[in-house]
């Protein structure tokens, strides 16, 4: 009997939220939204002209959420059109294409554009960001791996999902978690709940893993000058080993970074008398 009771009475006040999509042209922003809202995929590229606007209703726990989605054009040409849409946003879907390194490297630039448009009083701390590593179905062309993307996102307190608008993989899960986090934010007086910010690793660990990934040789990886002594190499190694040891560091990619550091030290010591 109880199951038949009208649900309405229990439903808390409905919410109205604004979300925007951000990321380079052609990474799949519109297709991700279309896949979620219309359950379909369009293989032909139809560039968004300026902004596309849509409204959708979703049910999150006992809440009905009315979502205003502003799907931005990624092309630099449309900067003037999209710049006024950044304000009063509760959530951002930040997308890159896993087969296009430039689109991943551009994420910092998108954050900077938003920050600039929000102005000195704008607060990005209380916006929910979800990073979508999109087009994971194109496995052959993938050049940004999961740990790299996850590290970028989680070190900033952002959600991270691997998605394919083509197959639908990760899309529903991503939106459900994203909207759920926005509801938590609204219930928390518009502040990002602290639990979503504790990621289990430090900024120093995240920065070090990124530096190791981008290092040009073994000297650079250990952070010592070419021609450094055995002692200097060992000292640098020990510092990194303590910081990145997989037992202590939960950051994505820490295991690979740790292995790379061990190998770099071995290679250097072989050649130092
Ligand atoms: P702008 O509107 O110009 O900023 O681009 P966008 O980011 O909205 O890209 P859009 O969604 O229009 O997709 C660009 C192209 O990538 C289209 O040809 C899509 O069919 C294709 N695409 C999008 N998502 C995926 C995906 O997950 N996998 C594959 N294989 N192709 C995708
Ligand atoms: Mg688009």
What does the pLDDT look like over 162-211, one tens digit per residue?
999 999 999 999 999 999 999 999 888 888 766 545 667 888 899 999 99
CA distance linking residue 121 with residue 123, whole number of Å: 6
7-16, 126-135, 174-183, 216-225: the lowest-pLDDT one: 7-16
- For residue 6, pLDDT over 50 is answered with no
Closest CA to 19 of 138, 132, 143, 153: 132
- For residue 3, pLDDT over 80 is answered with no
CA distance linking residue 161 with residue 130, whole number of Å: 7
User: What's the pLDDT score for residue 109?
Assistant: 97
Q: Which of 44, 45, 162 to mutate to test the pocket of ligand 1 (most atoms within 8 A of CB)?
A: 45
Helix 146-154 and helix 203-213, axial crossing angle in degrees, nearest 10: 150
Mean pLDDT of the region 75-93: 93
The residue contributing the CA closest to ligand 1 atom 1 is 25
Q: Cβ(174)–Cβ(130) under 8 Å?
A: yes
Dihedral-angle region of residue 3 (phi above 0 means left; psi in -120 to 50 means alpha; beta otherwise): alpha
Q: Which letter, b or e, does each residue of 198-221 get, where b requires 16 or more Cβ atoms within 10 Å of its Cβ? A: ebebeeebbebbbebbebeebbeb
DSSP character at residue 9: G
User: What's the pLDDT score for residue 49?
Assistant: 94
Q: How far is the CA of 43 from the centre of ligand 1 (A)?
A: 7
The pair of three-digit structure tokens given for residue 72, joined into one six-digit string: 């931005």
CA distance linking residue 221 with residue 15, whole number of Å: 49
Ligand 1 in contact with 202 (CB < 6 A)? no
Q: How far is the CA of 37 from the centre of ligand 2 (A)?
A: 14
Give 1's pLDDT tier (boundaries 50, 70, 90): very low
Mean pLDDT of the region 17-37: 97
Ligand 1 in contact with 35 (CB < 6 A)? no
Q: Cβ(192)–Cβ(199) under 8 Å?
A: no
User: What's the pLDDT score for residue 195?
Assistant: 54
DSSP character at residue 14: P
pTM to 2 decimal places: 0.82
User: What's the pLDDT score for residue 187?
Assistant: 86
Give 250's pLDDT tier (boundaries 50, 70, 90): confident
Q: How far is the CA of 179 from the centre of ligand 2 (A)?
A: 20
- For residue 10, pLDDT over 80 is answered with no
Q: Which of 20, 28, 32, 53 to mutate to test the pocket of ligand 1 (most atoms within 8 A of CB)?
A: 28
Ligand 1 in contact with 164 (CB < 6 A)? yes
Q: How far is the CA of 198 from the centre of ligand 1 (A)?
A: 32
Q: How far is the CA of 159 from the centre of ligand 1 (A)?
A: 21
Helix 171-187 and helix 29-38, axial crossing angle in degrees, nearest 10: 90
User: What's the pLDDT score for residue 247?
Assistant: 82
Tallying the residues shown for the chain, one arrives at 273
Contacts of 84 (CB under 8 A, 6+ apart): 117
Q: Cβ(76)–Cβ(106) under 8 Å?
A: no
CA distance linking residue 118 with residue 128, whole number of Å: 15
Q: What percent of the chain has pLDDT over 90?
A: 75
Mean pLDDT of the region 240-265: 91
User: What mean pLDDT is reported for the chain?
Assistant: 90
CA distance linking residue 155 with residue 198, whole number of Å: 9
């Amino acid at each position: 009997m109880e199951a038949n009771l009208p649900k309405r009475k229990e439903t808390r006040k409905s919410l109205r939220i604004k979300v925007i999509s951000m990321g380079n042209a052609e990474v799949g922003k519109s297709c991700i939204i279309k896949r979620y809202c219309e359950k379909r995929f369009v293989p032909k590229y139809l560039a968004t002209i300026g902004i596309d606007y849509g409204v959708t209703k979703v049910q999150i726990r006992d809440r009905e959420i009315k979502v205003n989605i502003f799907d931005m054009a990624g092309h630099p040409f449309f900067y003037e059109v999209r710049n006024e849409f950044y304000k009063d946003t509760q959530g951002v879907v930040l997308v890159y294409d896993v087969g296009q390194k430039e689109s991943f490297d551009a994420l910092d630039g998108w954050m900077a554009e938003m920050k600039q448009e929000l102005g000195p009083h704008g607060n990005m701390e209380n916006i929910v960001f979800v990073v979508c590593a999109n087009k994971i179905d194109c496995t052959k062309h993938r050049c940004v791996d999961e740990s790299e993307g996850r590290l970028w996102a989680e070190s900033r307190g952002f959600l991270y999902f691997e998605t394919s608008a083509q197959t639908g993989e990760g899309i529903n899960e991503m939106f459900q978690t994203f909207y759920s986090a926005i509801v938590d934010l609204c219930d928390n007086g518009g502040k990002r709940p602290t639990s979503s910010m504790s990621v289990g690793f430090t900024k120093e660990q995240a920065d070090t893993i990124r530096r190791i990934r981008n290092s040009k040789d073994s000297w650079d990886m250990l952070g010592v000058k070419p021609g450094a002594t055995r002692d200097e190499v060992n000292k640098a190694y020990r510092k990194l080993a303590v910081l990145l040891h997989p037992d202590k560091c939960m950051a994505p990619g820490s295991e690979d970074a740790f292995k790379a550091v061990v190998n770099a030290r071995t290679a250097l010591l072989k050649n130092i008398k």
